[in-house]
Amino acid sequence: MNNKPMILSVIAIVAVIVLGILQFTGGCKKGVSAVPVAADSISAGAGAVVFFDIERVAAEYDYANELGDATEKKIKGITDEVTRRGNQLQNQGNAFNNDYNKGNLTSFQAERKAKELQQKQQEFDAYYQQQQQIAAEERAVMLNKIGNAIIEYVQKFNDQKQFGLIITTQGASNIAAGNPGLDITDAIIAGLNEEYVQKKAKGEIE
C-alpha cells in the first residue's frame, strides 16, 4: 500500500512523545529484562547523544506495515459499502426523475415518492457521517498502536543503553554532520522487527 500518509502521522505521534519522554536517562529503571538490540553499528556509549530517523523506522517497521495494510483493507470495506449504498440511492433518484419526466406518476405518487427519497437521503447522510467517523477511529487506533509500540521499545532500548539524549530526526536532511556511530536507526528497526516476530509467535500482538 502507499503508506506515506501513515508514515507522516506516525512521525507526528512518535516525535512529540519520544522527545518528551526520552530526553534524559536519569529516570530510567535499572535491571530491566533484555530486549532485542542490534548494536554492532553503535559506537556511542552511555550518556551519549544519539538519534534515529523516525521516517525510516515507520516505513521499515513490519508491524506498522502489516497493521496498516489490515486497517486500510477494513476501511476499504467501509468505503465500498458507503459507495454501494450511495449509488443505489442515486439510481432510485434517477428512476424517479425519469418516471416523473415521462408523466408516469400521478401527483400523489410523485409527492409520496419524493418524500420517501428525501427520507432515504437523510438516512444515508447520517450513515455516511457514522461510517466516516468509524474509519477515522480505525486509523487513529492503528496510529496509536504503532506509535506506542515504537515508544515502548525505544524506552526499553534506552533502559539498557543509558544514552544521555535520544533525538528523533526525519530524513537525512535534518543532520548537517555527525558521527555515523551516533545513528541508532538500524538498531531500532532491527530490534523492533525482532521483538515483533517474538511477540507474534507468542500471540501477544492484537
Q: Of 5-9, 14-18, 74-78, which has the strongest mean pLDDT?
A: 74-78
* pLDDT at position 11 over 50: yes
CB 15 within 8 A of CB 67: no
pLDDT recorded at residue 179: 75
Quick one: what percent of the chain has pLDDT higher than 90?
59
C-alpha cell at 171: 530524513
* pLDDT at position 192 over 50: yes
C-alpha 128/C-alpha 81 separation (Å) is 10
* pLDDT at position 137 over 80: yes
C-alpha 174/C-alpha 153 separation (Å) is 23
The per-residue pLDDT for range 150-190, each reduced to its tens digit, is 999 999 999 988 999 888 887 665 665 667 788 899 999 99
pLDDT recorded at residue 23: 43
3-state DSSP assignment of residue 165:
strand
Buried residues in 26-56 as b, exposed as e (16+ CB within 10 A):
eebeeeeeebbbbeeebebeeebebbbbbbb
The per-residue pLDDT for range 58-105, each reduced to its tens digit, is 999 999 999 999 999 999 999 999 999 999 999 999 999 999 999 999
**pLDDT band at residue 6 using 50, 70 and 90 as cut-offs:** low
C-alpha 39/C-alpha 31 separation (Å) is 18
Calculated CA dihedral for residues 197, 1, 142, 38, nearest 10 degrees: 30
Identity of the residue numbered 105: L
Radius of gyration of the chain from its Cα atoms, rounded to whole angstroms? 26
The whole-number average pLDDT for the span 99-128 is 96
Q: Is the pTM of this model over 0.75?
A: yes
pLDDT recorded at residue 32: 45
Identity of the residue numbered 90: Q
pLDDT recorded at residue 98: 96
Quick one: what percent of the chain has pLDDT higher than 70?
75
C-alpha 23/C-alpha 49 separation (Å) is 9
pLDDT recorded at residue 46: 82
pLDDT recorded at residue 24: 40
Q: Which helix (H) or strand (E) holds 198?
A: helix 185-201
**pLDDT band at residue 205 using 50, 70 and 90 as cut-offs:** confident
Query: For residue 81, what is the DSSP state?
Result: H
Q: How many CB atoms are closer than 10 A to CB 23? A: 12
